Amino acid sequence: MPSERSTKQGDHPREDSLLVALRGIGWLVFASVLLTLLNFSSSAVVGVNVVLGLIIGHRTYSSFLAQQLRLDDFRRKHLEEIQEWQERWQRLHRETQDTTSALVRMRDGVIMLGENDQILLMNPAAKRLLGISESLNMVDRSFREMVRQPELSRAIKAAYSGDGSQKLKLEIQHDNHVRPLKIRVDHFGSLSNNHLLITVRDETESHQVEAMRREFVANISHELKTPLAAIKGYAETVELAINDDPEAASHFMKQIQSQCLRLERLIEDMMQLARAQAGPSRMNFSNISLEEPINESLKSLSHLASAKNIELHFTALDQPAIVRGDPEAILTIANNLISNAVRYTPEKGSIKISCRDAGNKWALAVEDTGIGIGMKDQKRIFERFYRVDKRSDSPDGGTGIGLSIVKNLVSTLDGEVRVSSLPGKGSKFEVLLPKA
């Protein structure tokens, strides 16, 4: 410690220089007395006194300055030390604050247990996941008494007895809601410190993803199975009929062909859906006029419409409707909406395509005089594989993926899609896309 030595040397600089002065005065008096006794003239005594006085004054002043410097040095060192301690304290305070706010904000629950099951720390997520009121102070309470879960209590006991990390899955019921939890109990700290760290993770989301994955696999298997079963049946019939009834064989070959086309369409739609779900990273954003994809789509679908005697109207706006988006995605949206309108509009109907200014967005509307969609189905038509008419797994029927592609693309483009419809009267689909 540098401070101890500095204190002894430099604590009383005035006293040190006073000593030097007193000692000097002593010498001065001694010299005066000696010179007087030796009968020196009074002017010589005065002369010697003046010289000695100057020397003493100089020495006293030098000693005072040296002491003052030592004192300044000592003060500076002390200040530096104080500053260093202040910085250390501030750093520690900041670190504690960061750790606390991380623990408070964490989505996972964290619990620290001391000896004998005593709660040292429990973050808000742990309380929420375990169904404990957030206002309840849990510190110092017994964990196993507060959370009565036999499986968890067994895991804690095993971890305390040194059986290593314990992993378990629990379902906790709270507020009429069953929450699946993944829990891990680890021993932490030194061996003499029998402390445990419990982490709790909410598995609801991953259970939902898993359920969605299972549903998707079931849906896709069903969608593929139907045309494949038809192809198998037709192929067997062709085999039987090929010699006796070549006309029937050729009819069934055509059925096989159309089922193959349906399979091809299904796979193509699924690949398009996967691309639509890939998000903005797969998009090439640019400023594009809505007229371009609409005209392109009308060109490719006009023959389908004229085959059903359906009129297609598109009235462009006076000013160009420029949106910010991916041209290919917007063309896919227009194609899906216009082709649906053509497919679900009976012969001699009409389809109106229009654009309108909707504040910070441009709206593209496709309105038909088709079969319409009931209120109940309007809520579900954007779901993957959802078809209003379930019989339409016929070869010409839709795949139920088109509107799901539209919904995904529109949300990636930061837009929205709406539907309004009256069964038997027609439907109107409107897509709103951000202005450039």
For ligand ADP, the binding residues (CB under 6 A) are 336, 340-341, 344, 368, 370-373, 381, 386-389, 398-404, 427
CB of 93 to ligand ADP, least distance (A): 58
The least distance separating ligand ADP from the CB of residue 368, rounded to whole angstroms, comes to 5
- Shortest Å, Cβ 371 to ligand ADP: 5
Tokens (6 digits) for 61? 């002043």
CB of 267 to ligand ADP, least distance (A): 14
For residue 369, the minimal CB distance to ligand ADP (Å) is: 10
Give least dist CB 372 to ligand ADP, A.
6
Closer residue to ligand ADP in complex, CB, 10/370: 370
Q: How far is the CB of 163 from ligand ADP (least distance, A)?
A: 54
Question: Quick one: 136 or 422, whose CB is closer to ligand ADP?
Answer: 422
Which CB atom, from 187 or from 343, has the smaller least distance to ligand ADP? Answer: 343
Q: How far is the CB of 327 from ligand ADP (least distance, A)?
A: 21
Cβ proximity to ligand ADP: between 327 and 400 the closer is: 400
Of 123 and 404, which CB lies nearer to ligand ADP in the complex structure? Answer: 404
Cβ proximity to ligand ADP, 113 vs 381, nearer residue: 381
Residue 32 or 394: the one with the smaller Cβ distance to ligand ADP is: 394
In terms of phi and psi (left: phi > 0; alpha: psi -120 to 50; beta: otherwise), the region of 171 is beta
Residue nearest to ligand ADP (CB): 398
109/372 with CB nearer ligand ADP: 372
CB of 380 to ligand ADP, least distance (A): 9
Considering beta carbons, is residue 10 or 400 the nearer one to ligand ADP?
400
Alpha-carbon gap, residue 385 to 394, rounded angstroms: 14
